[in-house]
Structure 1
């Protein structure tokens, strides 16, 4: 096994290291979700944490890591005899994004269960992680049902495996750590809430710190063992501090005053439910224990809020996670200050130790190894100076701050952009308020990734039939299996009550559920759409559809066309908030190259079909139907757009046209485009859920008409 990178050698990332160590002190905090851009030491810090955890005593031979003094009474390997255990390091188990349900929770040998009546159980990753760390890299890309199983086990401290009346339960208590890049898609709010703490990480913009990161990484890669040896003393120091804080934690007193501060903070930020209050209470207690105190202070409550509340403030995927620190300070200022405490005795947990030397001191390479001093949480450097601080508001502003009395220093008002290669463009217009839309779905039965939009054969859903298993059996169809085995019982020499079942008799249940699709938006941003009220309504409609795509687990892409051609503003991605950001910045103006937009969509869908052939597309064209430019293609714009639409229809692309034409006199060009696409046309007002009852029926009916018409022409 390769030598892991030392935890104390990680440069910066104080919030990340503190959150991980607080969970090591008190696993009841509920885990950590680490959000941030790639290349920010997320995985490195998590993998290094396991070396700081104390060793665990386990029952010899138990596959489920039962403690010798208090073994799990329901352990599948039990019952265990009392006796001394064996010590081993705490495990760090990684859950791959592509893991199956059986790999996560374990699998039953269905054949032996039916034939012999025994619970032959192969443990999964949840059993391996018991009393250790379970690490999920790119947790936002994990299948929803796996996340549900994972978080249920983390909340209950146990894993349940159910297969056609045969059930197994075992303990599964672990420190859950997930990392994710928000650009690749968000987690559902209810899943975010299940993580105790969240941390936002980003690469430092300080050249000196970046140099130190590179220097240490190169030194580690040249000699991992030697590099780890140089940090061994700091690692032992932090490990001892974790052990001391764990021992001190039961003595920490969370008085009524601290509980009132926590309750007032959660109520002030309008956090849903009570989980935030409980997590804050546990985090504040862990912070006190980590600092070597037995009393929770106001600074602990503040730090706990900065770690436990930002991800619980999101109301929709377009809201950026975060916390208003000024509001937090105003809430806590309403409570009396803490009474002064005596200085800690020399050699105590607060005297020296990692974190006291700052980010650039205390380590053999001149870099900080531990965690920040108490209260240096997210955004602490941006805190407004309080009364009595040496630096006042003017000093804090810095020498380059603008003078409000100097008109030349004021920021310039945004001006319409000048004439460019795409024609005259106007400044971006704000989107109207989003609304709930009707469900758009792709006709037929797909086999794509699990989601909530279109019908598909999935691993979860209602049972529709049975088939021979392809590979490992995961969902047994009991009736079909018995039916297949019954005719052969006499030939197999059956005796007694048991059913003689062989592998060829097993039948896999086929299930129907919902899949996620690729929703590709093609948005007209030309001059005919440039009226501010009109474009605001268009953006509001697209934003509403994006919100619907987020809720239904779709990938989304955004193509815009105006002026001289079409542009892929956002390649297909799971990050709908990235699409919303591109939509917000979308300028308008110029002529209308509708054909270029349709052909760009066809090319994008062709490439995505090669990348992910199982994910079916849904094309949403948002336009008034006008075509005033060939977009460099040459020819009549109207004829070119009709030809492009018919090409998409011939390839079986399910489409919807959102007609943006307004006013008492309408040309109906969007309807002509819809006919060429073989798609329904719906107005902006008709897109609302309460005013368009038959849109899904129209999409499916149009596709069915396309198929029957093509069959008639072929005959």
Structure 2
């Protein structure tokens, strides 16, 4: 069978692998954002071929337990010897090599904390199961991120400790990627401690990081480590501007959060300025001499060179986001992808064990129970009589049960203002936006409910359901016109949201209204009393702490809607002249930050 050649890697991807191989511990590692496939396998094989001979290469599942990471009690050896025997975890076994974290976007906070501590201290400290042990853990981490969007990404605490953030893409046919051999990497690794970095390069790296809004203090430090590794790879003992540009492009550019400020206007040429007097010239020369003696300035040309190198490395999507003022680093998880976390005795994902008895559906964890009992066997055997002596004595205080954690389902409640003012303004656009959001909820398998208020009361068009067809039919049949009983709409939505919360789901209430009420809570007309009742109902909603969003559907941002959102402690989104697609995107963005 004909074997296909591995796909070609880009210059930046190849250079990243080489730099990681030269200084794996100092750079921390790399976050690879790519789906599983030949391209990612080619990069991993390249890094593995360049690592030190005999260095460990271990894989770590994203759901690894503390015992798998840190080590713990060797149950078989402890029961055999009658004394606690420690077992090495993955962090200690990966010392001097690489640890590959699969599906890193699903990495839990516990695993991320242990990995971050190992990258910081370069050792693993074990204090569990009656053991106290410290082992070296000088390793590099490869985090394989298979997330679909910005809402699925590595924990920030772990991402900050990895020097390189790489999005693997097929190489450009015109891209001439360098080729490195294990022998070249070994020579660069040996020469790395002797490489010198001039102070002006360090200051330029820091200046470029500030210009692009890189807030992490680790980033400039790792960029300096990267430029030292690049100089060692080039066989030089002193780093120069070329290596600084490589470090800025590979380390700092993926962390950019804003565009650099425009350059200050240059001063007029010397021939256009009035000639200084001799006394002023002498004073200026003395001032310049004192400035040179105090602290030399960073060469602006070098800093500008690094800023341009970072801009050239930015992907078009990120550059457009920075130009529009968005900070791509704030990747919050969209509401609806998973509701609030809750503990459960026997449902959900296992997340460890705890001491306890297997009651009310809780399941006994046999291995952790034996681990808790193992260190006491010699003492218990000594206390037991010949008639009561057992091979393994387990007591009630040794019992460990499994802990589970599950995400509460999310139910999105759409509260639509179908009164005359809303129908006059943008009821059709609101319907279109709700239909788009219904489709998003259907993909996430969330429940949706549709509540409308018009005339003198409210109507539950659709109770919580996952049926997209029913939701669309209920929304299409919604007529417009009549008064605006806003207070009743808020109160009814609050009752429905509380029912959803009592049922175990996470309610997210989305109000689509212009905020203008003219029917009070008793059904009587009157704008002043209706507005006051709406604010009171909004304050009652705020006291529950439930998540809410208010979409101002009036042609221009209205003070009434803004005041109502403030009373409800809800996110306020004014969308003048926005279509259904823009309204849908704004609601999803507000949900992600709520």
| TM-score with structure 2 setting the length | 0.58
Q: 1:276 to 1:5 in 2, by over 3 A?
A: farther
After superposition, residues 203-602 of structure 1 pair within 5 angstroms as 203=170, 238-313=181-256, 334-335=300-301, 380=312, 445=344, 458-459=351-352, 465-467=356-358, 469-473=364-368, 489-491=384-386, 502=393, 507-509=398-400, 516-521=407-412, 523=414, 561-562=434-435, 566-568=438-440, 571-572=443-444, 595=461, 598-600=464-466
How big is each residue's C-alpha offset from its partner over 1:478-500, in whole Å with a ceiling of 9 and x where there is no partner?
A: 89999x96998234778xxxx99
Aligned to 2:507: 656
1:187 lines up with 2:53 in the alignment: no
Tell me the residue number matched to 1:101: 66
Q: Classify the secondary structure of the residue corresponding to 1:295.
A: coil
**26-35 vs 508-517, greater mean Cα deviation:** 508-517
Q: 2: distance between equivalents of 1:173 and 1:651?
A: 49
Question: Which residue does the alignment assign to 1:712?
Answer: none
Q: Which residue of 2 aligns with 1:168?
A: 133
**Whole-Å separation in 2 of the counterparts to 1:383 and 1:441:** 34
**Deviation sequence 1:608-637 (CA, Å, 0-9, x none):** xxxxxxxxxxxxx9xxxx966449xxxxxx
Q: How far is 1:502 from its partner?
A: 2.9
User: Could you tell me how far apart the structure 2 residues matched to 1:278 and 1:127 are?
Assistant: 25
Does residue 132 (structure 1) correspond to residue 97 (structure 2)? The answer is yes
CA change 1:570–1:35 in 2 (3 A) is farther
Q: Deviations over 1:400-437 (max 9, x none)?
A: xxxxxxxxxxxxxxxxxxxxxxxxxxxxxxxxxx9xx9
Decide whether the 8 Å contact of 1:24 with 1:175 is kept in 2. no
Distance in 1 separating the partners of 2:386 and 2:420: 76
Report if the CA contact (8 A) 2:191-2:232 is conserved.
yes
Tell me, yes or no, if the aligned pair for 1:46 and 1:135 is still in contact at 8 Å: no
Change (3 A) 1:286 1:480: closer
- Distance (whole Å) between structure 1 residues aligned to residue 146 and residue 90 of structure 2: 23
Partners of 2:370 and 2:28 in 1: CA distance:
31
Q: Kindly tell me: are residues 479 and 91 of structure 1, through their superposed partners in 2, closer, same or farther at Cα, counting changes over 3 Å?
A: closer
Q: Alignment partner of 1:131: what SS? A: coil
Asked if 1:11 corresponds to 2:8, the answer is yes
| Residues 657 and 242 of structure 1, relative CA distance in 2, 3 Å threshold | closer
Asked if the contact 1:22/1:283 (under 8 Å) is kept, the reply is yes
Shift of 1:178: 1.0
Counterpart CA distance in 2 for 1:629 and 1:595 is: 10
* Partner SS state of residue 444, structure 2: strand
What CA deviation, in whole Å up to 9, does each residue of 1:534-565 have, x standing for no partner?
Answer: 99xx99xxxxxxxxxxxxxxxxxxx96449x9
CA distance in 1, matches of 2:420, 2:210: 43
| Conserved 8 A contact 1:481-1:505 | no
How far has the Cα of 1:571 moved from its partner? Answer: 2.3
Counterpart CA distance in 2 for 1:203 and 1:261 is 32
Mapped pair 1:29 → 2:27: yes
Structure 2 CA distance for aligned equivalents of residues 193 and 272 of structure 1:
10
Distance 1:17 1:160 in 2: 34
State the shift of 1:570 in Å: 6.6
Change in Cα spacing, 1:107 to 1:567, as seen in structure 2 (3 Å) is: same
- Does structure 2 retain, via aligned residues, the 8 Å contact 1:261–1:332? yes
Task: Report the Cα distance in structure 1 between the residues aligned to 2:4 and 2:55, rounded to whole angstroms.
Answer: 16
**TM-score (normalised: structure 1):** 0.49
What is the DSSP-based 3-state SS (H/G/I as helix, E as strand, rest coil) of the residue aligned with 2:466? helix
Which whole-Å deviations, capped at 9, do the CAs of 1:77-114 have from their partners, x for residues lacking one? xxxxxxxxxxxx22321112343332222231368769
Q: Tell whether the 8 Å contact from 2:72 to 2:86 is kept in structure 1 after alignment.
A: yes
CA distance 1:276–1:485, change in 2 (3 Å): same
Question: Structure 2 matches for 1:695-714, cutoff 5 A?
Answer: none
Kept in 1: contact 2:370–2:394 (CA 8 A): no
Shift of 1:325: 8.4
1:18 Cα deviation from its structure 2 partner: 1.2
Compute the displacement of 1:196 (Å). 1.8
Runs of 5+ consecutive residues of structure 1 not aligned to the other structure: 56-88, 213-233, 315-322, 339-373, 385-433, 451-456, 540-558, 575-591, 605-620, 632-640, 693-715
Higher percent of residues as helix: 2
1:519/1:688 CA distance change after superposition, 3 Å: farther
1:26, distance to aligned residue in structure 2 (A): 1.0
CA contact (8 A) 1:252 1:289 kept: yes
Displacement, 1:599?
A: 3.2
Which SS does the other structure have where 1:32 is aligned? strand
SS at structure 2 position matched to 1:182: coil
SS at match of 2:165: strand
Cα drift, residue 283 of structure 1: 0.7
Indicate how the Cα distance of structure 1 residues 95 and 596 shifts in structure 2: closer, same or farther if over 3 A, else same. same
Aligned equivalents of 1:657, 1:134: Cα separation in 2: 39
1:496-525 CA-partner distances (Å, limit 9, x unpaired): xxx995357673445879754343535568
